[in-house]
């Protein structure tokens, strides 16, 4: 068996559920059901409520996972997840299964943690970029005027 570097190498035996196009997995603000999801097949939209309406802030495809906060903390869902493709096949794991999997396959936690850290790093980089753009936008514009004699 080769080296396992993909989280799906660990979760390929968990229960799966099929969702259809335009079906919500969950919606922003929903009370957590304590489950996280792994995308085996299909494409999903990540949607957030904004003052101007609902905005797509990301997408998920095969190999992605989401809802990991629900395993650790009972907190309202932070975004809505909507199926974009004709179908989506998702692996579903609850807290008890997560703990079992973690105990039986410690490498799973390492791969999951690595993925979460990559997401956090990306988010921090985006925040820094937005802060720099905001600073640039807040600077007064200086116009030069050419004086001709």
Structural domain contains residue 111:
no
Our CA dihedral for 47, 49, 51, 54, rounded to 10 degrees, sits at 40
Mean residue pLDDT of the chain comes to 82
- Mean pLDDT for the stretch of residues 3-30: 79
- Residue 90, domain extent: 8-105
Structural domain contains residue 87:
yes
16, with CB counted inside 10 A (0-12, 13-18, 19+), is middle
- Output the pLDDT for position 135: 74
Does residue 112 register a pLDDT over 90? no
Does residue 11 register a pLDDT over 80? no
Overall number of domains in the chain: 1
Alpha carbon distances (Å) from 9 to 1, 24, 145: 11, 26, 64
Alpha carbon distances (Å) from 93 to 15, 31, 99, 125, 132: 7, 16, 10, 30, 39
Instruction: Tokens for 63, please give them.
Output: 């190999």
What is the distance in angstroms between the CA of the first residue and the CA of the last residue of the chain? Answer: 82
Q: Is 119 helix (H, G, I), strand (E, B) or coil?
A: helix
Whole-structure pTM value: 0.71
The phi-psi region of residue 7 (left if phi > 0; otherwise alpha if psi is between -120 and 50; otherwise beta) is alpha
CATH of residue 93's domain is 2.60.120.10
Q: Give 60-103 pLDDT, tens digit per residue.
A: 999 888 988 888 888 899 999 999 999 999 999 888 888 887 78
- Output the pLDDT for position 3: 35
Structural domain contains residue 115:
no
- Output the pLDDT for position 144: 59
Structural domain contains residue 113:
no
């Amino acid at each position: 068996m080769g080296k396992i570097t993909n989280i799906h190498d660990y979760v390929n035996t968990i229960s799966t559920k099929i969702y259809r196009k335009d079906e919500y997995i969950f919606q922003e603000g929903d009370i957590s059901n304590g489950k996280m999801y792994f995308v085996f097949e299909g494409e999903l939209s990540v949607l957030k409520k904004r003052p101007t309406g609902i905005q797509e802030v990301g997408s998920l495809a095969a190999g992605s996972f989401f809802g990991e906060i629900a395993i650790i903390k009972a907190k309202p869902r932070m975004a809505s997840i909507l199926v974009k493709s004709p179908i989506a096949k998702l692996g579903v794991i609850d807290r008890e299964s997560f703990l079992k999997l973690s105990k039986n396959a410690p490498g799973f936690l390492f791969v999951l943690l690595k993925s979460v850290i990559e997401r956090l790093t990306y988010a921090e980089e985006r925040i820094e970029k937005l802060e720099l753009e905001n600073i640039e936008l807040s600077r007064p514009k200086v116009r030069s005027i050419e004086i001709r004699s």
